């Protein structure tokens, strides 16, 4: 719809998937949660299953457009539109979602890391549709945070950050994830930052240090902000997301014992 609205595409035909009931729904399946491509963003926002299994997504959804757009927008539409600043795109990158597509040759699964073929271009054939997204469920004691900087609430993020931290009983980081949206043509996983966190005793000082590693990230400049400003925001958003994730991980771990 945004591409039609802005006259970027002028298709001969538009195929309406709204009435394909099999493409909608949220289902917990063991240590994963499966979401039909046509599931509305608003249904995800209010889903208790999503809040329990994937709180990072619940938090990210509060930043997606406005309640009017979330009433109609779908998770599959957001991932296929593949705006690098879209919150659900950043969450899918952070959590290593798996994208299921269906076409004339049957079903196949694409790890989200291989899903963006380029700027706003999903790696699916024109004869295929996305049918389902699968997200892994992290342990309950994981700390999560989704933060973003946008000019007004509800705008696409200029830069967003999604973080997940899991600590052992001694406060050492055993799993860490950091993804950035809006910085480059596709969402970025900051794997060097993740590697620098894992195995370390978590602290605000450590987070401040590793967040600075985002200073050199390859960033795009556009009419809104130069690349150097996005690099600055990448550091600030990473620090905020990791600090919040850490504060929540501490609380969850304390509650779990
Ligand atoms: C005013 C406004 C503000 C917005 N703000 C934000 C924001 O802040 N953050 C954000 O993330 N998004 C934002 N959006 C985008 C919105 O959240 C939707 O993701 C977007 O409009 C796509 O809508 P849709 O799900 O109806 O998909 P559509 O518009 O129907 O589809 C989008 C693209 O994906 C393709 N597609 C859709 N479903 C499938 C499928 N199952 N298989 C294969 N291809 C498919 C379509 O062919 C099309 O190319 C905003 C939109 C508007 C209009």
Pairwise CA distance, residues 89 & 104, whole Å: 26
pLDDT band, residue 156 (cuts 50/70/90): confident
Report domain extents, the chain. Answer: 2-136, 143-256
Tell me the fold of 2-136. Answer: 3.30.465
pTM assigned to the model: 0.95
pLDDT band, residue 5 (cuts 50/70/90): confident
* The predicted structure's pLDDT at residue 3: 83
Domain 143-256: homologous superfamily in CATH = CO dehydrogenase flavoprotein, C-terminal domain (3.30.390.50)
Mutation to probe ligand 1, out of 6, 65, 122 (largest number of atoms < 8 A from CB)? 65
pLDDT band, residue 2 (cuts 50/70/90): confident
In ligand 1, the atom with minimum distance to the C-alpha of 4 is 29
In b/e form, how buried is each residue of 129-153, taking b as 16+ CB within 10 angstroms? bbbbbbbebbeebbbbbbbbbeeee
């Amino acid at each position: 719809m945004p591409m039609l609205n802005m006259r970027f595409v002028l298709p001969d035909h538009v195929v309406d998937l709204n009435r394909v009931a099999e493409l909608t729904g949220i289902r917990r399946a063991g240590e994963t949660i499966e979401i039909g491509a046509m599931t509305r963003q608003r249904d995800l926002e209010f889903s208790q299953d999503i809040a329990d299994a994937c709180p990072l997504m619940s938090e990210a959804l509060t930043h997606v457009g406005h309640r009017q757009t979330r009433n109609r927008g779908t998770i599959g539409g957001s991932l296929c539109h593949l705006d690098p600043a879209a919150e659900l795109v950043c969450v899918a990158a952070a959590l290593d979602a798996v994208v299921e597509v269906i076409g004339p040759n049957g079903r196949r699964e694409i790890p989200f890391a291989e899903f963006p073929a380029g700027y706003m271009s999903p790696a699916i054939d024109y004869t295929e549709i996305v049918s389902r997204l699968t997200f892994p469920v992290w342990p309950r004691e994981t700390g999560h945070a989704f933060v973003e900087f946008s000019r007004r609430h509800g705008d696409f993020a200029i830069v967003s950050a999604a973080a997940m931290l899991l600590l052992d009983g001694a406060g050492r980081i055993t799993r860490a994830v950091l993804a950035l949206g809006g910085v480059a043509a596709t969402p970025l996983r900051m794997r060097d930052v993740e590697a620098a966190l894992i195995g370390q005793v978590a602290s605000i000082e450590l987070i401040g240090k590793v967040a600075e590693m985002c200073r050199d990230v390859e960033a795009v400049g556009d009419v809104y902000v130069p690349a150097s400003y996005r690099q600055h925001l990448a550091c600030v958003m990473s620090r905020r997301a990791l600090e919040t994730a850490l504060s929540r991980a501490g609380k969850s771990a304390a509650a779990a014992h």
